Amino acid sequence: MLERMGILDDFLGPLHQGIWEVIVQKEQLEGPPGSEWKESKVNLPSPDTISSFRKGRYHAHETKTDWRVHMDLYDPEHHPVMHLVDDAPLLLMLSGSVESLWVDAKNTRKMDYAQLMHEQKVAWQLILLAGICLLVLGGLILAKLFYVFSYLLEYGLPLAIIGFAIFIIFQGIRTRPLNAVAKKNVIVGAIFIALGLLAFAFPAFTIILLIMLIAIWPISSAVVSLKRVRQGKLATPDGFTKRLAIGVGSLILAVLAIFFPVDITLLILIVVAGIVIFIGVILMIKAMGIRNALLEQSAMTAPSVQSP
């Protein structure tokens, strides 16, 4: 029997005592998180997550049965760059995506009848079509790897920089009252927009930005992670070994990016293509599972024919 009822905030005290994650069963809560919690659309992949919410540094993942809450080191609304460096390093994003997809793939094969029937709100044919399209897209990325790479340099990276800049500026201007951090975000966003426009105008500058992106990000993550490892287990609530692996892995990735930027970019594209193909396979498996469930339901509800 559950010990107490309350709102989600009532259970978050251990996060300030060195605990990395608090798991709260939905039966323990009087209702969903309050209005101060804002839904987060962009998150590190996490298995079994239905939706995510943020409140300052608190980050909550909702699953079918519980809420899993951890505390980020930086609030992405006020410190988006440091959040990427410390809370969401590139290596963790790539490994997290693969882990999440692998868990979801196993769970898809174990979906029970009720879960499959719940998916009837989306036609299984559309899910199957989406899976096939992603499978083809991943195959095209692999087949046209250098073409995709040149397209990324010419259009993808500049657009990504400008998009990130707009996001930072939006986070700044939405803050009321407009404080020093918000003003800094607006200035940083304006600088990134200028960099994105320069990348459009001068393709050679794009290569410099690419090296900066795939080198400075991991270097920054490596420095921060290894510094936390040096401070000991109290400074690594997400796991000492995990932080050490992220720090060393990010450092290796950064060194390779400096000396072999094109090769590392192509490798990242291959990983992305593999993830896209994996998602396509998962959707196809899910679609066929829904189709089989519908056939079983039709067989169960069909009127029996009696012989004369």
Q: How far apart are CA 222 and CA 122, in angstroms?
A: 43
Range of the domain at 22: 8-71
- Residue 306 falls within a domain, yes or no? no
- Residue 14 falls within a domain, yes or no? yes
Domain count for the chain = 2
Give the pLDDT of residue 282: 80
Q: How far apart are CA 32 and CA 9, in angstroms?
A: 11
Q: Which of 110, 96, 22 is nearest to 66 (CA)?
A: 22
Q: How far apart are CA 14 and CA 200, in angstroms?
A: 48
Please state the length of the chain. 308
Give the pLDDT of residue 213: 73
Q: How far apart are CA 72 and CA 54, in angstroms?
A: 10
Same domain, 171 and 56: no
Same domain, 203 and 55: no
Same domain, 46 and 145: no
Same domain, 140 and 214: yes
- Residue 222 falls within a domain, yes or no? yes
Same domain, 123 and 211: yes
Same domain, 102 and 55: no
Dihedral sign (CA 138, 141, 144, 145):
negative
CA-based max dimension of the chain: 86
Same domain, 275 and 227: yes
Give the pLDDT of residue 110: 56
Peptide bond into 14 cis (omega under 30): no
Strand ranges, E, within 95-228: none
Q: Count of alpha carbons within 13 Å of 271, Cβ hemisphere only?
A: 16
Same domain, 120 and 38: no
- Residue 307 falls within a domain, yes or no? no
pTM over 0.85: no
Q: How far apart are CA 31 and CA 274, in angstroms?
A: 39
- Residue 76 falls within a domain, yes or no? no
Same domain, 24 and 168: no
**pLDDT (tens place) for every residue of the chain, 308 residues total:** 445 567 788 888 888 887 878 888 888 877 677 778 888 776 666 667 778 888 888 888 888 888 888 888 888 777 777 777 777 776 677 676 666 666 665 665 555 555 555 555 556 677 778 788 888 888 888 888 878 778 877 788 788 888 888 888 887 787 666 677 677 778 888 888 888 888 888 877 777 777 777 778 888 888 888 888 888 877 787 788 888 888 898 888 888 888 887 787 788 788 878 878 888 888 788 777 777 767 776 677 655 545 44
